[in-house]
Structure 1
Amino acid sequence: MAELQIGDTAPDFTLPRDGGGTVSLNGHLGKPVVLYFYPKDDTSGCTTEAKDFSSLLPQFNAAGAVVVGLSPDSVKAHDKFTAKHGLSVILASDEEKSALQAYGVWKEKSMYGKTYMGVERTTFLIGKDGKIAAIWPKVKVAGHAEAVLKAVQAL
């Protein structure tokens, strides 16, 4: 599958979310959506990223944006992660990896000489029209949420 590009229509998804219920991209049409993909609940980088997005959520909301974190973890894991760290962002669970694959972030990775499949930390900013407005591949967590907020405010 070709990599998604700025200007492409973002693939829709409907997934279970923390706290019960589901979240779908089409359910937020007309608002900018920050969709950040991360590897695993409660690991250091993912915790920092989720806390950064949560702490800036009032500014994202003021800009009219919705922030959704997405990983292959279960809803139960998301609920524990949210409760432990006081997170306020929506966390979607993609155990089937359908959205991860649709967005091209389920990739071969390597660590300590072993290769495995995992999530490449990537953020997509999806405009009100459902088209991709910005992409941050291979995200470095420090300062990332602030950079995404600036992009949302500039839409």
Structure 2
Amino acid sequence: MRGNNWSRWLLLMCLWAGAGYGQTAIEVRQFSSPQQQALYEGLLTELRCLVCQNENLADSNAELAGDLRNEVYAMVTQQGLDEQAVKTFLVQRYGNFVLYRPPVQASTWLLWGGPFVMLLVGGVALWRVARQGRAVGPVEDDLSQRLAARRLLEDEE
């Protein structure tokens, strides 16, 4: 009976500790047109959270992401900026890292070309390993070596 109480106590503590996990505040935004709302929501999915690095602004719970959402909202609704103007402003302020799809340029060539280079290197390595396997050829059967091995085995018995 006593072990059962401990398991209930442990379960209760785990539930209490995780009760606040995953809860986020719901941001209510007012837009003057559906186009503004679509632009805002589209930008949030295309812009990266600078803290989380693997989440977009729409999904991030970081405080900086909330600030950036507010800034994007103000640029779209109050300043009337279009998608390109908002992205340009954020790139000037935070660099290309803020974009999930940075432009192809000298500073991002490794990001865009790296996977293809790695695929090419892996293909060449696989080709060389496969070629070496064929170059060895079959093992020649030498009758004198087999007879010597048989004599050794008979001597041990």
- Normalised TM-score (structure 1): 0.24
Q: Which has the higher contact order (CA 8 A, sep 6+)?
A: 1
TM-score, L = length of structure 2: 0.24
Q: Counting strand residues as a fraction of each chain, which structure ranks higher? A: 1
Give the structure with higher Rg (CA).
2
